[in-house]
Amino acid sequence: MPELLYLDTARLGRMSPGAAAAHRDFVALAGDEGGGLYFDRFLADGFRDCPDAFATRYPGLANWGGVGGLKAGLRELAGCAPDTPLLLASRSTALMRFAARLLFHPCRNILTTDLDWPPYRAVLAAESAAAARTLTEVPLREGVLSGRLTDAELVEVVCDRFARAGCDGLYLTAVNNLGVRFPVERVVRRLEAAHAVRVVVVDAAQEFCHVPLPLLTVSCDLYLAGAHKWLRGYHPLGVAFYGRRQSCGRVRTVLAQAVRSGEIDDPLLRFTARLESGTDEHLSETVNLAPLFSTTGALADANDSAGAWSNRLRNREAAAATLLAVGWEPVLPDREFRSGILLVRAERPTIQAADSDSLRAALRVAGIAATTYPGGLVRLSMPSDSWRPGELDHLGRAFKLIA
């Protein structure tokens, strides 16, 4: 079997070396110490108050400096101010539910697009129904993917619809699962200049650690991300940044209320908040801490990947050209919408008709890990380093085999 070329971040990125080392040593530490005193000390502040031998015995955990340290690392990676508040949760959906609550507290009509991740869209729709409010969806997907809609036209269409439908809130997906990059900042700035936009939530699960981040807490009230996709922490960890001047207090108050009432019952969210505040909660639920350590390990790798964005774009162009030559047509939206995700469609009708699981399996056998969709559509996540010698040939050969 050929070596695996891992080009899949749709659900999970491949675990980064730093994350893998942290995970291994966390397992070793758990095997040695269990939940003893030293583990508690390590959890709170890292190796500072532990025996000296720990640092050499568990080197993969050397970067762990408590939950505060992890949050500081995530802030730095996102380019946020050191005092930017952020939330950690074991389930991204818990944060999405919170986002929906936040949106529908003061908003009457939320504008969304058909570029959203369907399960998150369902959470939004459920909250909209429960609160008897309106969701206004703008259809953009077909226009964007076919290349008919330009960046400027999209901004125009979205802003026009916002005004005509009398919307007052926004839920936008920064980069969707098909790799379409949405001009969030431009849309928000333009709408806020002309209308009362009460809350803006951005789903950035596919943007975080993939696309260079704008000043995220300047243009939105809640920025939803995750450490298990492009950051490659592997263990699911939902991350949400907030701190916009006009909504910081609101996010904090609504969250406290939702946690108190049990509407948000994510154990990691409760646990990290408790660790940071130093409050004791004896009857709290036992929490899986593995995502915290693997994310810390992944952060060390991510910090080294300067210039990753331009590499990804170059890799994308090269991969598109390679695959076009072997019977796979790249789906190319307008240049401004493109990201480090390449979407290709099989030219042969038999491949288009094949079910997506079979296509995925065939690609895996050929040495490619990718996400597949019905209609012979394949999603490839571009690596942050330039293609290594032989990788593009490997990609071309694998796709030629299936084409």
Partner 1 sequence: MYTPPRPRRTVLLSFRFLGTALVGSLAMALVSTFADLPAQLAVLGSLISILGGLFVSYLEQEEEREVRRTQILERLAVPLALAPEDDLYPLYLAYCRAVSALAEQTDPLLREIAALKLASVNAQIETLAAGTVVFAGTETWRAVYEQLLAGGTVREYRSVAWVRSPNYWQDAPGRQSMRANFEAVHRRVLIERIAILPDADWPTDTDLPAEPIRSWLQEQHDHGLHLVLVRESALRGEPDLLADFGIYGDRAVGTQELDEHSRTVRFTLSFDSQAVRLADDRWRRLAIFGIPFQSLLATPPA
Tokens at 152, concatenated: 């400027």
Tokens at 268, concatenated: 């990691």
Q: How many residues bind partner 1 (CB under 8 A)?
A: 22
Q: How far is the CB of 98 from partner 1 (least distance, A)?
A: 12
Contact 54, 42 (CB under 8 A): yes
Among 84, 112, 206, 247, binds partner 1 (CB under 8 A): 247
Q: Per-residue x/- mask for partner 1, residues 271 to 310, rule CB under 8 A?
A: ----------------------------------------
**Is position 261 an interface residue for partner 1 (rule: CB under 8 A)?**
yes
Handedness of CA 54, 59, 65, 66 (dihedral sign): negative
> d(Cα 315, Cα 309) in Å, to the nearest integer?
10
- Residue list 83-112, contact with partner 1 (CB under 8 A): 102, 104-106, 108
> d(Cα 159, Cα 78) in Å, to the nearest integer?
27
Q: Which residues, in sequence order, are bridge partners of residue 328?
A: 346
Among 121, 186, 244, 379, binds partner 1 (CB under 8 A): 244
- Residue list 182-201, contact with partner 1 (CB under 8 A): 196, 198
Q: How far is the CB of 247 from partner 1 (least distance, A)?
A: 7
Which strands make up the sheet holding 371-373, listed edge to edge? 328-330, 341-346, 377-381, 371-373
Q: How far is the CB of 105 from partner 1 (least distance, A)?
A: 3
Among 1, 53, 212, 246, binds partner 1 (CB under 8 A): 246
DSSP at 181: B
Choices 6-14, 130-138, 361-369, 380-388 (CB under 8 A): range interacting with partner 1:
130-138
DSSP at 341: E
> d(Cα 29, Cα 288) in Å, to the nearest integer?
14
DSSP at 305: -
**Is position 133 an interface residue for partner 1 (rule: CB under 8 A)?**
yes
> d(Cα 197, Cα 190) in Å, to the nearest integer?
10
Choices 7-15, 30-38, 154-162, 242-250 (CB under 8 A): range interacting with partner 1:
242-250
Which positions touch partner 1 (CB under 8 A)?
102, 104-106, 108, 130-133, 196, 198, 244-247, 249-250, 252-254, 257, 261
